[in-house]
Structure 1
Amino acid sequence: MAAVGVTPAGSAAPTSAHHDRAPVTSSSARVVGDGSSTSCTSDAVVRAVRRGGVIRFDCGPRPVTIEMRRTAKVVNTSRRVVIDGGGLVTLSGMGQRRILYQNTCDPAQVWTTSHCDDQASPRLVLRGLTLARGDSTGQDLDGGGGGAVFVRGGRLKVVGSTFVGNRCDRVGPDVGGAALRVLDQHRDRPVQVVRSTFRRGRCSNGGAISSIGVSWRIEDSTFLGNRAIGRGANPARPGTPGGGSGGAIYLDGNLFTLSLVRTTVRGNVAREGGGAVFFVSNDRTGTMEVRGSRLVRNPSQGFETAGLPGIFFLGARLPTIVDSVLR
C-alpha cells in the first residue's frame, strides 16, 4: 500500500532549527588527546565528560575508534556538555556497555534540585560523533534501555552523528532505544536530531530510539535496518515477555509530538507493531507529522494502523503527511 501526502495550498514546511554551532576556541574547549591516536583513551573521555563543557578531540588526522571501558557519565552540575567528534571519532561500547549516561534524577550524578525531572541543564549535545556497539542489556535503572545513550532530564540534541550496531534488552513490554532512550526533557521541549543516521540497532522495542512522554523533531536523518525483537507487545500478552514494537522509533506516554522532516526510514522491522514508528499517546493528545520524508519497506509483523504502512498510531488525530511517501 502506498500513501503520498500533498502539501495543502498556502502551507510551507518548517524551517530547520539552529544547530548549536557557536564558535569554539582552543582555550574554551576541553581537548581529549595530544595529537596521537593512542592518547585518545576511554579514561580521557570519561574524565572530560565528568568535567563538562565543550569537548573536542586531537587524535591525529585519521578516523579513530575509542573503546569505552567505562560508561561516560554527565555530572548534573554541568550546564552544558558538547561532545564534538569532528567526524573522525567513534566511541565504541565494545558490545559490553552503554556509552553515555545523563540522569538528573540519579543522586550518584549529583541531585541538584527538588524538581530533578524538569531541570534545564545539563544540555547534552552530540556532534560529528559515531556511537557504535553500545549495549545496556541488564541496566534497569529508570526502566533501562538506551544501548548507546540514556538521557533523563536536562536537554539532548544530536547533530551530524551516526549510531550503528547498538543493543539493549531483547525482551520487555516498554524497555527500548538501542541507540537513544530519553525521558523528562526540560519544559517538554523536543529532542532535536539533525543530519544523523541510525543503523542496525536491536532492542525489545525501538530499534533506534525510544522515549516516554518526550517529543522529537527529526530532520534530514536516516533510519536503516533497525529491529524491535521483543515478543508480546505492551501490555504483554499472557505467556509472553512483552515488546517487539517500533522497528525504528518507539514513543509512548501522554502529550508528546513527533515531527519527521526530510527523513528516510527504510528496511526497519517490528516483530509486533510499527515497523517504522510505534506512537501511542495514552490520553490521545499526542500528534505526529511527516514532511518531505520517505517511509518505505518497514514491515510490521504483528499490527499497524490501516492506511499507514509501517506505522502504528494512537493520538489526537491521524498524522499529518505532506509531500511524503509511505509504502
Structure 2
Amino acid sequence: MRRRTPAAALAAALTTVVLTLAGCGGSPAKPQPAAAAGSAAPSPGSPPAPSTPGSTPPGSSAPAAPAQVNGNPGGRASVPAEARAVDTSKPTRVVGTGTPGSCTSEAVVSAVGAGGIITFNCGPDLVTITMKATAKVKNVQGAKIVLDGGGKVTLSGEGRRRILYMNTCDKNQGWTTSHCQDQDHPSLTVQNLAFADGNSTGDTTEGGGGGAIFVRGGRFKVVNSRFVRNRCDQTGPDLGGAAIRVLSQYHNQPVYVVGSTFGGASGQGGVCANGGALSSIGVSWVVLNSVLSYNSAVGKGANPARGGTPGGGSGGAIYCDGNLFTVRLAGTLVEQNKANEGGGAVFFVSNDRTGTMSIESSTLRKNPSAGFETPGFPGIYFLGARPPSVSSSTLTR
C-alpha cells in the first residue's frame, strides 16, 4: 500500500506483444496514454438469451430452462481437486419448495446464517432472487458453507446492497478463535450461481469494497459462477472489488476462481475505484478457465492518492496489493477492461517485492491503462520479486 506512481521515463512497450516465454520486461512503467479499445467479437460466456414467452405449443409441457454456462469454453487448465465444485447431492438445507415465489431473500439469509450445504428448489426455469438484506455467514455455524444455484439462480442486490458477507474477525458474526485473521474455517464456496447488481457503496466495513461478495478469513472459492453489473465505491486509493473483495485467507492459501465469468459483455462488467472484478490485500489468487471482461477501475489519483485527487483507478479487472502473495491466471480470457490509472487488466504491487505472478495458456487483450503500465506487459502494472512468468499466452493492446 505504498507508492503506486510509475518510475522515471522508460522505453514505451511494443504496440503488440505476443509472449510465449517467461522473463520478459518488468520494470516500472512510464505513464502511457489510453489505447483505443476498438471492437471485438462477443466474449465467451455471454449471458444466455432470454426465452420467448409462448414458444411452447399448447398442451405440451414447458421444457426446463438450460442451466447457465460460465467461464472460458476454450480454457484447458487443469483444475486441482481442492478447486473443484463441492458435492451437493445431500444438502443440509434447501431454499424454496419448487416455485419461484418460494425462493425469497429471507430464505437465503436464513440458510446462509444457518450454514451447511445449501441448494435451491425454485422450479425448472431461471430465477432471480432479489435480496432485501445481505446474507451473512455466522462463523459459529460449522466449518463448511456451500451455496449451489444449480446454474439457474441469480442473487440480485438491486443495485442497493452487498449480496454475501463472511468475516471471521467480525464479532457480530461470532468470533471463534483468538487469531481470526488466520483460521481455517469457515470454508465458503459459491458454485453454479450468479450475482447481479450488488453494491457496497458507502459500506466502510474493513475499508469497503466487495460489491457482490466480501470475505475476510477462512477459505473461499468460486466455481462456475457469473458476476454482472456489480458496484463499489468509485473513489478511494485502496478499496476495490466490484464483484469480490478478499482480505486474509488461512495460511495464505489461494482463492480459487474456476470456470467463472465477470462481466462477459458490454454493460455487464463491474465498476469500482479499483479492481472492477477482483480485489484483495495480501491474498493469493488462482483464476482458471474464466472470463474477465468489460470491467472498469474508475477512481482517479492512484495509490497513494496524488494531491488534489481522491485516489484509485487501478486494476481494471484485478487489483492486488500487499506483501507476499501470488496470482496465477491459466486458461483465462481477460479483455476489454480498463483503468483510469495503472493496469487495465491487472494491477499487482507487492510492497516488499516478494510476490509473483504467472500467466499460462491465457489471452489478455484490449485492456487500456490510461495512466501507466509495465513495458512489455500490455494491460499490466507489476511490482514484485521478478517479472511475470508468461507461457503459451498472448498479451496485446
Report the Cα offset of residue 7 of structure 1: 5.5
**What is the match of residue 184 of structure 2?**
120
Aligned partner of 1:47 among 99, 110, 115: 110
Equivalent of 1:176 in 240, 244, 263: 240
CA contact (8 A) 2:88 2:119 kept: no
Q: Partner residue of 1:57?
A: 120
SS in 2 for 1:275: coil
Q: CA deviation at 1:5?
A: 2.8
| Structure 2 letter corresponding to 1:252 | D
Match of 2:342 in 1: 273
Q: 1:14 to 1:162 in 2, by over 3 A?
A: closer
Asked if residue 67 in structure 1 is aligned to residue 130 in structure 2, the reply is yes
**Match in the other structure for 1:6:** 20
* 8 Å Cα contact 1:271-1:300 kept in structure 2: yes
Q: 1:3-59 CA deviation, whole Å, 9 max, x = no partner?
A: 323368xxxx97322244454344x43100000000000000000000000000000
Q: Secondary structure at the match of 1:95?
A: coil
- 1:91 paired to 2:155: yes
Q: What secondary structure, in the 3-state scheme, does the structure 2 residue paired with 1:55 have? A: strand
Name the structure 2 match of 1:106: 170
| Counterpart AA for 2:304 | P
Q: Could you tell me how far 1:181 is from its partner in structure 2? A: 0.2
C-alpha distance in 1, partners of 2:77/2:84? 18
| Whole-Å separation in 1 of the counterparts to 2:388 and 2:225 | 27
Equivalent residue number for residue 250 of structure 1:
319
Q: How big is each residue's C-alpha offset from its partner over 1:229-254, in whole Å with a ceiling of 9 and x where there is no partner? A: 00000000000000000000000000
The answer on whether the counterparts of 1:147 and 1:168 sit within 8 Å (CA) in structure 2 is: yes
Match of 2:302 in 1: 233
RMSD (CA atoms): 1.2
Contact 1:104–1:111, Cα closer than 8 Å, also in 2: yes
2:130 alignment partner AA = E
Q: Which residue of 1 aligns with 2:217?
A: 153
Structure 2 match to 1:36:
99
1:141 deviation in Å?
A: 1.1
Correspondent of 1:309 among 361, 373, 378: 378
Deviations, residues 81-121 of structure 1 (Å, cap 9, x unaligned): 10000000000000000000000000000011110000101
Q: How many residues align?
A: 322
Residues in 2 aligned to 1:24 and 1:202: alpha-carbon distance in whole angstroms: 32
Contact 2:77 2:288 (C-alpha < 8 Å) held by counterparts: no
Is the Cα–Cα contact under 8 Å of residues 221 and 255 in structure 2 kept in the other structure? yes
Q: Is the 8 A contact 1:4 1:321 kept in 2?
A: no
Distance 1:307 1:227 in 2: 22
Question: Which residue number in structure 1 is paired with residue 270 of structure 2?
Answer: 201
1:265-321 deviation per Cα after TM superposition (whole angstroms, max 9, x unaligned): 000000000000000000000000000000000000000011110000000000000
Equivalents in 2 of 1:23, 1:266: separation in Å?
Answer: 32
CA distance in 2, matches of 1:190, 1:286: 13
Instruction: Compare CA radii of gyration and give the structure with the larger one.
Output: 2
Q: Distance in 2 between matches of 1:202 and 1:21?
A: 28
Distance 2:169 2:125 in 1: 38
Higher relative contact order by CA 8 Å / sep ≥ 6: 1 or 2? 2
Q: TM-score under structure 2 normalisation? A: 0.80
- Could you tell me how far apart the structure 1 residues matched to 2:196 and 2:226 are? 8
What SS does the corresponding residue of 2:386 show, helix, strand or coil? Answer: coil
For structure 2, the residue ranges without an aligned partner over 5 or more in a row are 1-14, 23-75, 264-268
User: What is residue 186 of structure 1 aligned with on the other side?
Assistant: 250
Task: Give the Cα–Cα distance (whole angstroms) in 2 for the partners of residues 119 and 324 of structure 1.
Answer: 36
Percent identical: 60
Partner of 2:46: none
Aligned to 1:215: 284
Helix, strand or coil at the partner of 2:148: strand
* 3-state SS of 2:232 partner: coil
* CA separation of 1:7 and 1:29: change in aligned 2, threshold 3 A: farther
Contact 2:271 2:298 in 1 (8 A): yes
SS at match of 1:255: coil
- Code of the residue aligned with 1:215 in structure 2: it is S
CA–CA separation in structure 1 for the residues paired with 2:88 and 2:233: 38
Q: Deviations over 1:147-184 (max 9, x none)?
A: 00000000100000000000000100001000000011
Amino acid at match of 2:198: G
Aligned AA (2:301): G
Distance 1:25 1:222 in 2: 27
Aligned AA for 1:3? V
SS of 2:354 mapped into structure 1? coil
For residues 23 and 210 of structure 1, do their structure 2 counterparts lie closer, same or farther at Cα, with a shift above 3 Å needed? closer
3-state secondary structure, aligned to 2:106: helix
The SS at the match of 1:69 is coil
